[in-house]
Structure 1
Amino acid sequence: MLAQILLVQCDERPNEALLEKLQQSLQYELHTYHLEHAFDALERVEPDLVLFNFALTRDTDFSFLSSLKQSTSPLYLPFIVIANAFDEVVQQNALYAGADDFLVPPFSSALLFAKLETHLRTRHLSQRLIEKKENLAWYQERLRHEHLIVRNMFNNALSRNLQDCQQVETLLLPLSSFNGDLYLLAKGPLGSIYLLLGDFTGHGLPAAIGTLPTSQTFFAMAKRGAPIGQIAHEINQQLHKLLPENMFLCATLMELSASGNRVSWWSGGMPPALVIDADDSISQELTPQHLPLGILPPQDFEAGITMTRLEEGARVMLFTDGVIEMGIGQGKPLDYEDFYQICQQSRWNMAEIKQRLALEVMQRGINDDLSVMLLHCVPTGYAPRSTEEKLPSLPFEIRVHLTPNDIRHVDPVAQLLRGLSQLEGFPHFKARLYTALSEAYNNALDHGLLRLSSELKDTPDGFEQYYEERNRRLSSLHSGAIDITLSYQPPHRYLRVAVKDTGPGFAAQTQFTQRSTYSFGRGLLLIKELANNIRWFDQGRGIEFDFPLFDDEQVAPTNHQPVLP
């Protein structure tokens, strides 16, 4: 496309020499107008460059040139003044009024075209710059609009968090607009409190991608009173399907019983949670026992939980690694000991902890999202009125025989619980029954059929090695079986559970008493907490126990020591 040149003259007689030079070029389309029509010419021609050709003196009023320049768009439009003679004062006045260049005859066609090309090139660059600026403004507005939509989605998702919960105090300090840390709180149907504190890989919007599926799953399953292990399993399945390989969620999921004297928890990849007794001393560290959520495929996921009994007045503190990594970018990280000291000096008062951490943030700076949560383990006040659940009046017995192919492709515990949940009164006990039954089943599978040693977990990389070996042995399992029997005999308010495998067996009494102090012995400890009359049989190949069918706080195990036949 030819460049549009506007020649503005103040004399009726045109400059023949100038016209001849311009008409020699085939790159320009020339439009000639008298000065009095200059403003109209700008609108009609929409020139790429304007030439002014008139006799100038020191008395020339350049206001017209200034007005004409101001009427143009922000796009650079070069004004070149061609004077009749050189005069430095006249040249200065013209440039100050809005001219971009100044030419005095005689000059060659080569010089004229060089000047024109230089200014047209500058105009082209100005045009590209404005286009990029407009595109950037459009993308910024689009991004702002999309961020607004995403923020509304997040706010709506997180608005389901339990509000005004006196048991929980928090400090949530995101590094950017979107928080890569995740805090969820919900009330269970039986008065318990469910909570999740997590930390997605990275920070900002990419790290917050998993917030929606995680929160939707958490709230839906907490509303149904699902066990913590099942919630962790379902969230892991969602994130494993959704997130890229390099992203995952370090998280602690916890359920505080309605009485406030027990927490059931699952933790993967998080800093250890702290149990603080009434005298402000740290009595336990709840060390994570699993890989973060979203790493393992569903068939390899380990949903085992830990149950911890708490003294009256106890508290549990959870925090993300953004706390202990505060200042790491400046080479001055706030490590575990520093954080513990801050909390102890504050006597675990959350208001004081917030103030002290705010000072640390000012001095050290933060490199990641930072979250702290303090759970007061007292009665929740959400428990429904205590009424004895009505149970089925007919006795029943369920027997399940699982072959290697069944074990690889079926979750028998989940299917059994779905069936039992249809029976009158049984939904009330679903979470605790799931925990006890799944621990008995996993113990039979891992240590009975697969012959895995829990001592594998007692190393820094032990859990990952354990799951890899478990997956390998399960894939090559071709013989053996697991039998599950559930029997109910009214009017007794218990469900008798028996789980037996065809493995080599073991010295059950020794296994229970010696290993129960280690983290990998938590399965048997959980059964011990939840059931009565625990009994090993068939040389340690089977375990049988009575699961009580009455209110959680009425559970009073009558025989915690396993009985050998």
Structure 2
Amino acid sequence: MTTLLIVDDDPSTRMFLEAFLSFEGYHVRLAAHGQEALAILDTVACDLVLMDIQMPVLDGYQATQRIKERTRYERFLPIIFLTSVETDLELARCLECGGNDFIQKPPSTVILKARIQSWLYHAELVNKLAEDRLDVERVILKMRQDEKFDPRGLRMLVAPLEKTNGDLILSARRSDGVQYLMVGDFTGHGLAAAICGPMVADIFYRLTYQNVPLQTIISRINDSIFQRLPANMFLAAAFLELNREGKWMRVWNAALPAVLRIRSGRLAHEFPSTLPPLGIASPLAETTCEQHPLLEDDRVYLFSDGSVETRSVTGDYFGEERMIRFLEECASSQRTLESLSEVLDTFRGGREVTDDIALVEVRWMEP
């Protein structure tokens, strides 16, 4: 049975609403103020709340704000204010604090019944969509938990904006021990971006185990994105080929921030983007990729743009220079990769997080 919570300090109003809504077939719970309503919601799953504004202990505005904070990541719980106020500012405040609708007191039973039915139907659709999304997220997360991933020689930081995200880190070795690494960032974030990850991962791992050259794998990924995904979906990515026995590496960068090689705690080389994002055009233009020495004290860093494009409250970007200084401190063991989240939070100064963050450190190790 659908459960409604009535929050009002006037006994006669509570009595009238309880009688009317019970007759309409609803199960009704009663609270005389906001604090009592919060206590009820801790133990009872209500489907809709009818909220008065002016009440002792905790008023309707405060109670609504707390309810919305509690249920933000759970399910949609509609709140309809029953109010005697008539000023535009007060009515607007009903919505600003998290309310979904308001009805003037004394309420018309016809209007009240119609509004309740409308919001219950809306809540059912929203909550069903959220459940379906959760099921899809579980499938995607399961698909992305790939046992093929080779973590040797790598340290990583992944800070997704949502449980499913558009950042992708793949690592595997050919039969001769040469390691391929990819850090990618699909357009946007969330489900739309995350769905594309398993397709790219399948191509990457399958062809790596067939000892296919990395440049060919990059071209195959590009062609698949171009052919299979909508025109607004593309992948910014950086690829690394590591030959630890020969002590050299190759870098391909397709629209990610520059890959950085830090030696003895100082920036030694930047590998800027030389390719467009994958999926923009097919075939992908070939590019010459030279071998670069890889020494024992080298640290190579690949990262998505979520960190450098973090903005402060004044609108400034964290930027590449701050990122380089941070990574130089990481390479010289003055900081940990995990501290980047704290550094960005401080720089952001309370501003909302807007993008996923992925950072990979590659260290030299014995082949």
Summarize the alignment of residues 187-226 of structure 1 with structure 2, pairs less than 5 Å apart.
Answer: 187-226=173-212
C-alpha separation in 2, matches of 1:202 and 1:378: 35
**CA 1:314 to 1:134, structure 2 compared with 1: closer, same or farther past 3 Å?**
closer
State the 4+ residue runs in structure 1 displaced beyond 6 angstroms.
65-69
**Secondary structure of 2:25's match?**
coil
**CA 1:149 to 1:363, structure 2 compared with 1: closer, same or farther past 3 Å?**
same
Deviations 1:105-154 (CA, angstroms, capped at 9, x unpaired): xxxxxxxxxxxxx5345323333333333333333322322332233223
C-alpha separation in 1, matches of 2:19 and 2:257: 69
Are residue 253 (structure 1) and residue 239 (structure 2) matched? yes
1:182 shift after superposition: 0.8
C-alpha separation in 2, matches of 1:198 and 1:175: 15
2:304 maps to amino acid? T
Are residue 176 (structure 1) and residue 162 (structure 2) matched? yes
**CA 1:160 to 1:121, structure 2 compared with 1: closer, same or farther past 3 Å?**
same
Deviations 1:381-439 (CA, angstroms, capped at 9, x unpaired): xxxxxxxxxxxxxxxxxxxxxxxxxxxxxxxxxxxxxxxxxxxxxxxxxxxxxxxxxxx
2:363 maps to amino acid? H
1:296 shift after superposition: 1.4
Are residue 377 (structure 1) and residue 364 (structure 2) matched? yes
**Secondary structure of 1:323's match?**
helix
Structure number with higher relative contact order (C-alpha < 8 Å, ≥ 6 residues apart): 2
The residue number in structure 1 matching 2:322 is 338
The residue number in structure 2 matching 1:160 is 148
C-alpha separation in 2, matches of 1:311 and 1:67: 80
C-alpha separation in 1, matches of 2:341 and 2:110: 59
1:373 shift after superposition: 1.0
1:134 maps to amino acid? E
1:141 maps to amino acid? E
1:268 shift after superposition: 1.0
Indicate which of 215, 224, 228 corresponds to 1:238: 224
**Secondary structure of 1:375's match?**
strand
1:301 maps to amino acid? A
1:149 maps to amino acid? V
The residue number in structure 2 matching 1:289 is 274
1:254 shift after superposition: 1.3
1:314 maps to amino acid? D
**CA 1:315 to 1:245, structure 2 compared with 1: closer, same or farther past 3 Å?**
same
Larger radius of gyration: 1
1:248 shift after superposition: 1.1
**CA 1:363 to 1:137, structure 2 compared with 1: closer, same or farther past 3 Å?**
same
**CA 1:329 to 1:198, structure 2 compared with 1: closer, same or farther past 3 Å?**
farther
For the Cα contact (< 8 Å) 1:228–1:264, is it kept in 2? no
The residue number in structure 2 matching 1:322 is 306
CA RMSD for the aligned pairs?
2.9
Indicate which of 147, 163, 168 corresponds to 2:137: 147
**Secondary structure of 2:180's match?**
strand
**CA 1:262 to 1:242, structure 2 compared with 1: closer, same or farther past 3 Å?**
same
For the Cα contact (< 8 Å) 1:75–1:130, is it kept in 2? no
Summarize the alignment of residues 64-463 of structure 1 with structure 2, pairs less than 5 Å apart.
Answer: 70=22, 73-74=25-26, 119-155=109-145, 158-163=146-151, 165=152, 167-259=153-245, 261-277=247-263, 279-298=264-283, 300-302=284-286, 304-327=288-311, 330-349=314-333, 352-364=336-348, 365=351, 366-380=353-367
**CA 1:359 to 1:119, structure 2 compared with 1: closer, same or farther past 3 Å?**
same
1:73 shift after superposition: 2.3
C-alpha separation in 1, matches of 2:212 and 2:338: 33
Summarize the alignment of residues 53-72 of structure 1 with structure 2, pairs less than 5 Å apart.
Answer: 70=22
Which blocks of at least 5 consecutive residues in structure 2 are unaligned? 1-14, 29-107
C-alpha separation in 2, matches of 1:68 and 1:347: 69
**Secondary structure of 1:352's match?**
coil
The residue number in structure 1 matching 2:47 is none
For the Cα contact (< 8 Å) 1:275–1:315, is it kept in 2? yes
**CA 1:189 to 1:183, structure 2 compared with 1: closer, same or farther past 3 Å?**
same
**Secondary structure of 1:359's match?**
helix
**Secondary structure of 1:151's match?**
helix
C-alpha separation in 1, matches of 2:170 and 2:141: 16
Which blocks of at least 5 consecutive residues in structure 1 are unaligned? 1-62, 77-117, 381-565
C-alpha separation in 2, matches of 1:297 and 1:210: 18
C-alpha separation in 2, matches of 1:244 and 1:296: 12
The residue number in structure 1 matching 2:83 is none
C-alpha separation in 2, matches of 1:336 and 1:265: 19
1:184 shift after superposition: 0.5
Summarize the alignment of residues 462-541 of structure 1 with structure 2, pairs less than 5 Å apart.
Answer: none
C-alpha separation in 2, matches of 1:346 and 1:151: 29
Q: Percent identity?
A: 25
C-alpha separation in 2, matches of 1:66 and 1:312: 75
**CA 1:282 to 1:151, structure 2 compared with 1: closer, same or farther past 3 Å?**
same
Deviations 1:251-306 (CA, angstroms, capped at 9, x unpaired): 111111141611122211111111222x22222112221111111112x5325433
C-alpha separation in 1, matches of 2:308 and 2:141: 28
For the Cα contact (< 8 Å) 2:312–2:347, is it kept in 1? no
Tell me the TM-score normalized by structure 2.
0.66
**CA 1:185 to 1:330, structure 2 compared with 1: closer, same or farther past 3 Å?**
farther
